[in-house]
Structure 1
Amino acid sequence: MSDSNTTEFTNPSTFILLGIPGLEMAHVWISIPFCAMYIIAILGNFTILFIVKTEQSLHGPMYYFLCMLAVSDLVLSTSTLPKTLSIFWFNSREIDFSACLTQMYFIHCFLVVDSGILVAMALDRYVAICHPLRHSTILTNPVVAKIGLAVVLRGSMLILPYPFLARRWPYCRTNIIPHLYCEHMAVVKLACADIRISNYYSLSVAFLVTALDVFFITVSYIQILRAIFSLPTKDARLKTFGTCSSHLCVILASYIPAVFSLLMHRFGHNVALHFHILMANAYLLVPPVLHPIIYGVRTKQIRDRLLQLLSHKGM
């Protein structure tokens, strides 16, 4: 490893992922919750996809968007966790240069896709509550498909410059990445060049995507709350608000870890490196774990269908 740290090169064939510097002796123990959360994320999201596919009553915009979120979460967690676990279990730290850039692209692309799907789900709740009689005519299957395509294209196009810019930088200092995965700035910081373009672009994408998506979600929920408070009875207000509760929980589970990690990355210069890395992994892994749990517990149709499946297997 010392050779790779000192050898000069302009296009490294591999990078070395250190894992969690300072906690190497605890890698095996840290792998236990990581592995458990990955299994929960895989099983939970595949269960959501299976239930929506097999239950005819769930074939509607809200559940189509939920399936999109489940697929995005599966891609996001699978982009990082297999390699992370191989580092913990087998000390397999090398990653091919192209594979590193591919991992970088998928991670950041599907973070943007996840955020876009949450906006689409907020739109669905807005139409369902504020214009209930027109819901089926506004959010038709073709419209839902176009929204999904737009969300994916937005993520794909916005993140496309990340690997292209990273590939053009010369890397002549080191190929060692003090991280568990190929995070964009962790990679480009290794370049011996002026990386301000990458830095400014990534900041702009992070700020604009988060700010715009949170703005649209907030506007949607302001209108939703106005419609809810105009209902005549308390029971009607609580019942209507209950249809939004799952989505609100998912929003909090998605944005709070991401914003906290972003702020800590930009301003927490005195925070220990291993804490930075653990938080960066938390905002990638926690939402894919919590999303199916939240919808499974708080959505009656999904909960009933899941209990039906489990009781049938138990027999």
Structure 2
Amino acid sequence: MPALNPAFSDIVELLVAVPEGDEAAVAAVRAREGLLTKPAGSLGRLEELVENLARWQYRSSPRLDNPMVTIFAGNHGVTDQGVSPYPREVTAQMVANFTNGGAAISQICALHEINLRVFELALELPTGDITQEAALDDQMCAATIAYGMEAVAGKPDLIGLGEMGIGNTTIAAAIYAALYGGTGADWVGRGTGVDDAGLARKADAVDRALALHKDELTHPLAILARVGGREIAAMLGALIAARHQKAPVVVDGFVATAAAAIAHAVNPAAIDHCIFAHVSAESGHAQVLEHLGKRPLLDLGMRLGEGSGAAMGMVMIKTALHVHNNMSTFADASVTDRTH
């Protein structure tokens, strides 16, 4: 079994030595919840969302002063295998659309006052075609993870993870197959709308990649380098940095969850600060969430990517916090509390 490249040593250490969260802050939130004009627990997961903010922000009075969706964009050599109906040029075109305000994610963030930041990851240099070679060498993969860590250095207090990259549902499927077993057909979906022939090409590309790299898929970070992509590596870096910077994370759909799956495979506790915004219509996503032991917040039949599901999850979190902070207590409203 090949040893893990030392380039990944610091990353593994950050994933293993994760802060545990602030249970005293959670207790303070629960104490306030108990005073609000509603039956105990009656807001269900909305109450859990506020507790999650408190735990990972380390604040007994959590805040959302700087929520931010991050979109990491990368290109993939595997598109040469006909796995997408769109050419690679669309990645850069969509990045421009994000920044010009024309995309769904742009509109969701604008309406709900969520900051949107877009990071281009060497779009002119696609990763290696995973059916022919490694996507990234270990040093480049580690450097891209580090870049993702730096990308969230602006002190956001809630981070949404999103991505853009033609071909990246094939890449995510390859990661899942390498982590959890099965064939390409078990994990690929229609992505941006491939027909049956395109779906078969996706499954075949995953199978060939797994066969080519089988002797080197010995560690989650090696899997990321061999069959992953820059945007998934950068999202992993953002997820790691967020934990250490006391910022909860909201994960988007099928592709963004691949970054969390890598982290979880190194240390299951490394994704405790993550909320999984929704279950994607992309086949396989529900399976991944089951492997991770995570229950999605929403089920809207979405498969857009681009952080759109994460943003909708953040809207729910903003709503939950607003209710928590602004509801009257029984005493404030002169409402009789339940008898004891």
TM-score normalised to structure 1 length:
0.25
- In proportion to residue count, which structure has more strand? 2
Greater Rg, structure 1 or structure 2?
Answer: 1
Q: Which has the higher contact order (CA 8 A, sep 6+)?
A: 1
- In proportion to residue count, which structure has more helix? 1
